[in-house]
A and B are shown apart, each in its own frame.
Chain A
Amino acid sequence: MELLVFAIFAGLALASALTVVLHRDPVKSTLSLVVTLFSTGVLFVLLGAPFVGVLQVLVYTGAIVVLFLFVVMLLNLQREARRSEPGGSFQKVAAGAGALAFAAFAGIAVWRTSADAEAAELTEAFVGLRGFSEELFERFLLPFEIIGLLLLVAVIAAYVVARRPEPERRLPTPLEKATGEARIDPVGEEAP
């Protein structure tokens, strides 16, 4: 039973990971990342970490991927999606690097865990949420608070970077210099 679930979701995760990388359309890449992350969440549950699995689905597929989708659709990348990707020797080099990474990590994994090492039976104390939160809020309290601070900083930074610059303080962009016309100004307050 466990083997069956593992086989299904491992295959799904791998296939959708390949789709993420190979598909030309960023929207479809993002959507297949949802499948990858959800399958990984299922594998977390299989590994006796149900809470982490739930968080994976909530935070990753629920929040982060939605953010990605918003940006992809906001930017309207259809033109870029149609442009061809580089082929030839560079792709071979990258594929080689990927294969090397796979060989190295898989080799180390099997070598260090002695391939058929059986993990102990799952116990209530290990799976349960009580032990998890006790450890999180006692041993890892300070990192937890720092992570909260990091998220705050990230939100502020994202706002500052992505906001539209005020017209009078805005330098002309290279594109505007080249074409000699101002672009984005739906309000129309800015002189051309």
Chain B
Amino acid sequence: MSRRLADVFAEARSENRAALIGYLPAGFPDRDTCVDLISTMVESGVDAIEVGLPYSDPLMDGAVIQEAVERALIGGTTTDVVLDTVRRVAEAGAVAVVMSYWNPIERYGVQQFAANLAKAGGVGVITPDLTPEEAGPWIAATDEHSIDRIFLVAPSSTDARIATVVSSTSGFVYAASTMGVTGARSTVSTGAGDLVARTRRQTALPIAVGLGVSTGEQAAEVATYADGVIVGSAFIRRVLEATDSSAARESVAALAREMADGVRA
């Protein structure tokens, strides 16, 4: 049996550190380089991978991820390409989840998406614009195919909302560190610690913090109170700034090592 999210967080906990989760959209900067970069991330200390499903209207994403997914879409990245990317990185040993806005999953077919993701070796899905109230068929499909279902909590979530969200969540809870869109920030919001503490009172699930983490120092700080640290835009920026794919690989590896050191600090 391949490793699942619970194993990833249990291993990290046994090492007295937070888990490191890295994000990259499928098809970015192209299909093969994406798979290659994900392998690099894993080799350099990233514990689990979020494979992004590029969507035409990413309203929770800042400029960096928008640019990456637009490129991926122009390059012809379809849902099938995303699932194939998951298959390839899972075969290479990565623990992979998909991060997707809701419409592409609904269009693909909720049952079929869960089934094909399981078949590809994916272990979970993060749905940033799906709340549990709208997730009836999704909950059934993910249960049936043993796919972890990751919903988000935000600083504005009331305790009652957090209770609702975590009761539908499995794998880990995604805590959005700040009120805003994805993208590197110079400081991770102080509200994140409070949100994690409030969430912790409602669930025994691991809690990972995303939005705005871009340096090892920030990762270390978040790791003091969260079970996982999620890094997305910072990796993408390294790729966008690299002059070629080998430079991208080196730069991504360096950032992954810095982050991996951070979660162990």
Same complex for A and B? Answer: no
Q: Interface of A with B (CB < 8 Å)? A: none
